[in-house]
Amino acid sequence: RVFCPNSGGGLGCAAAPFSDSELGQSVSAEVFESYIKGRMRLLESRLREEVEEEAEGRLQAELLRLQELDEAQREVLAARKHVEDQILTMRCPRCRTAYLDFEGCCALSCSKCPCNFCAWCGADCGADAHRHVGSCVAKPAGVDGVFSRVDVVERAQKVRRAAALESFLGGLGARTREALLREMLGTLREHYSQVLRVFGV
């Protein structure tokens, strides 16, 4: 904002800063445009600083939260992250990029790396997955060739996720597993109730 030149240095003017409309009437169009551009740059800079401070505050709060966790809680947190990111989320077997889209062909191509892989078993098939997909042992009975309906592929992937989940849970210590299952009960109950039953939940 622009203040009266006599507002500082003990000159005693306590008037409010000039409004944009007052400045626009008092200076040339060229000067006023330069003033507006300068104000915009200043506001943008302040906004960036506020965003950075807010993000830093969130990071510090998360760091403090993690520091306050005891070892057992950190183990549960790490296990939950693994289940959510590496088991329940389908990923490219090479670069681990998540994938969601399926258009009928079970020879999948990663959008981030040159990997071609199988929708049935998740195997990295190198430069071309079609030959593998055609004879994949994980392919459900009755599916011919490399094409399938979305619902059939989703069921097969759910079976694969359930097997991976059961294997991972079986490798955890009992206390970590019990705490993890309590935390994720709502998430797992709908689609993985058979896995929960294996562990008495």
Name the residue among 39, 55, 79 with its Cα closest to residue 181. Answer: 79
pLDDT score of 1: 64
pLDDT score of 73: 80
Asked if 153 and 106 count as a contact pair (C-beta separation under 8 A), the reply is yes
pLDDT score of 57: 81
pLDDT score of 69: 66
Amino acid letter at 191? H
Give me the tens of pLDDT residue by residue for the chain, a chain 201 residues long.
666 666 665 556 677 777 777 766 777 778 777 877 887 888 888 888 888 888 888 888 877 776 766 778 888 889 999 999 999 998 999 999 988 777 789 999 998 899 999 999 999 999 999 999 999 998 988 888 889 998 899 999 999 999 999 999 999 999 999 999 999 999 999 899 999 999 998
For residue 117, give the 3-state DSSP assignment: strand
- Distance from C-alpha of 154 to C-alpha of 137, rounded to nearest angstrom: 16
Record the pTM.
Answer: 0.61
pLDDT score of 88: 92
- Distance from C-alpha of 105 to C-alpha of 148, rounded to nearest angstrom: 7
- Distance from C-alpha of 130 to C-alpha of 136, rounded to nearest angstrom: 10
Residues in Cβ contact with 164 at an 8 Å cutoff, skipping those fewer than 6 apart: 87
pLDDT score of 114: 93
pLDDT score of 192: 94
